[in-house]
C-alpha cells in the first residue's frame, strides 16, 4: 500500500492551490472565515466560477463535463477547496442527483438535467426524511399514485436542506403500499418545486438560521417521465445515492483549516494543560482520518472500485472531529464577549450538532460497519 503522493500528484495539488489563491473571491472567503450566512447568490457565484474553469464536477464522465482526473486528484481537489476556505459546493445536484442520473437515468433525463446542474441553472434539494422516517427511511409514507401519464403525490418531507432555494427536488415516494417488504414499492421521482401543490415552510435551527424546511405535497402532478429507474425500485437508487453522500461528509481539508484557525484563536489559553491535550488528540485523530482516506484512495487507484460499507468510518470520524473543533472553539472563546465573531462561533457550535445525524446517523453507520464489514 502506497500512502505517498507521486510527484505528478503533488504538482497537480500545487496547480489547484495556486488557481484557488487567484480565483476565489475575497468577499466569499471572508464570509466563510467569519461563519457568515451565504446566500443562494453567493453559492451559485462560486459554483459558476468553477464551472467556467471546468472543475465543478470532477467525478462526472468527460462527455458530460468531467475532468478525467484520477480518484487521488479528485481527493486533492476537494481537500484544497476546503483548506482554501471557499463556499461548499452544494452536493444535492452535483454529487447526489447527477450520479444517480448517470447510473439509472434515461438519455432524455440526462440531456434535460445534467447540463443545467453543471452550469448552476437548477438548484436541487433532497426529499428523503419524513416525520417518523429519518434513520428508518424505509418506513416513509409519502405516496405517489400513477394516473395515466403522471403521478399524483401526497405527503410530507422534513429537514429538507435549502428547499427554500431549490428549483427541483429528488424524492423517495411509495408507489406500492402493499409491497411485502418495506424497501419494495418505493420509487425515485424528480419534482419541479414550482409545481402547484408544493408548500415550503421554514424550520429554524438552534443557531437561529433558516437552513432546513418542511415540504408538503398536496395532489402534486409529476410527469411519469420524471421517474428514475423502475417503478418500485427506488430503494436501489437510494442506497446508491447514500454511498456518494457519505463519502463527502469527512471534509478533511475544511477541518484542517478550522484546526489551524483554532490554534491561532486559542493562543491565549495554551497554558491550559487539559485544553492542549484535547487539541493534540484532535490533531492526531484528524491525521489518522486523512491516512484512512488515503487508504481508500490507494485501493480505488489500484482496483478502480469505490469503497464499500467501510466508507461509513469516514462519516463517523469526520463529523465527530468537526463537532470537537467547535467544542474547543467554544472553550477558547470569551463567554462574556459580545462581538460578531464570538457570536458566530456560538452559532457554528449549535449548527454542527447536526453533522452526526445527517446522511444516516452515526449510530446507523456503526451498525452498517458491524454488519457489512465485520460480519457481526
State the catalytic residues: 245
Determine the Cα–Cα distance for residues 188 and 89; give it in Å rounded to an integer: 23
374 phi and psi angles, rounded to 5 deg: -90, -15
Q: Any idea what DSSP says for residue 6?
A: P
**Length in residues, the chain:** 376
Determine the Cα–Cα distance for residues 347 and 34; give it in Å rounded to an integer: 11
Determine the Cα–Cα distance for residues 315 and 339; give it in Å rounded to an integer: 33
CB of 95 closer than 8 Å to CB of 136: no
Long-range contact pairs involving 254-258 (C-beta distance under 8 Å, separation at least 24):
254/82, 254/83, 254/88, 254/322, 255/82, 255/286, 255/318, 255/321, 255/322, 255/325, 256/79, 256/82, 256/83, 256/286, 257/82, 257/83, 257/84, 257/85, 258/322, 258/325
Residues 6+ apart with CB under 8 A from 266: 275, 279, 328, 329, 331, 332
Beta carbons within 10 angstroms of residue 235's beta carbon: 20
Q: Which residues pair with 143 in a beta bridge?
A: 154, 174
In three-state secondary structure terms, 45 is: helix
CB of 282 closer than 8 Å to CB of 325: yes
Q: How many CA atoms lie within 13 A of 146 on its CB side?
A: 15
Amino acid at each position: 500500500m502506497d500512502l505517498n503522493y507521486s510527484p505528478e500528484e503533488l504538482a497537480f495539488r500545487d496547480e489547484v492551490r495556486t488557481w484557488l489563491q487567484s480565483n476565489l473571491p475575497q468577499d466569499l472567503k471572508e464570509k466563510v472565515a467569519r461563519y457568515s450566512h451565504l446566500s443562494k447568490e453567493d453559492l451559485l457565484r462560486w459554483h459558476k466560477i468553477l464551472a467556467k474553469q471546468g472543475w465543478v464536477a470532477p467525478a462526472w464522465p468527460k462527455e458530460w463535463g468531467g475532468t478525467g482526473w484520477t480518484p487521488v486528484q479528485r481527493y486533492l481537489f476537494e481537500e484544497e477547496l476546503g483548506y482554501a476556505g471557499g463556499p461548499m459546493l452544494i452536493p444535492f445536484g452535483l454529487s447526489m442527483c447527477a450520479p444517480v442520473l448517470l447510473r439509472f437515468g434515461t438519455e432524455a433525463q440526462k440531456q434535460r438535467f445534467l447540463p443545467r446542474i453543471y452550469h448552476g441553472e437548477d438548484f436541487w434539494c433532497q426529499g428523503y426524511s419524513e416525520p417518523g422516517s429519518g434513520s428508518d427511511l424505509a418506513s416513509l409514507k409519502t405516496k405517489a399514485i400513477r394516473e395515466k401519464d403522471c403521478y399524483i403525490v401526497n405527503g410530507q418531507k422534513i429537514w429538507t436542506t435549502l428547499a427554500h432555494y431549490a428549483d427541483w427536488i429528488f424524492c423517495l415516494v411509495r408507489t406500492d403500499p402493499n409491497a411485502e417488504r418495506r424497501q419494495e414499492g418505493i420509487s425515485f421521482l424528480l419534482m419541479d418545486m414550482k409545481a402547484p401543490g408544493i408548500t415550503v415552510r421554514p424550520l429554524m435551527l438552534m443557531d437561529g438560521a433558516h437552513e432546513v424546511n418542511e415540504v408538503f405535497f398536496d395532489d402534486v402532478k409529476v410527469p411519469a417521465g420524471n421517474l428514475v429507474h423502475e417503478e418500485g425500485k427506488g430503494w436501489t437508487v437510494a442506497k446508491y445515492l447514500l454511498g456518494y453522500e457519505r463519502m463527502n461528509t469527512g471534509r478533511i481539508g475544511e477541518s484542517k483549516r478550522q484546526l489551524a484557525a483554532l490554534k491561532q484563536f486559542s493562543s491565549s489559553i495554551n497554558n491550559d494543560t487539559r485544553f492542549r491535550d484535547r487539541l493534540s488528540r484532535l490533531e492526531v485523530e484528524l491525521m489518522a482520518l486523512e491516512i484512512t482516506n488515503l487508504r481508500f484512495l490507494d485501493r480505488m487507484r489500484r482496483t478502480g472500485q469505490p469503497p464499500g460499507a467501510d466508507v461509513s468510518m469516514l462519516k463517523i470520524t469526520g463529523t465527530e472531529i468537526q463537532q470537537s473543533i467547535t467544542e474547543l472553539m467554544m472553550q477558547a472563546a470569551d463567554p462574556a464577549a459580545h462581538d460578531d465573531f464570538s457570536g458566530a462561533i456560538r452559532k457554528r457550535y449549535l449548527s454542527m450538532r447536526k453533522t452526526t445525524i445527517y446522511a444516516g446517523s452515526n449510530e446507523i453507520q456503526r451498525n452498517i460497519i458491524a454488519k457489512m464489514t465485520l460480519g457481526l
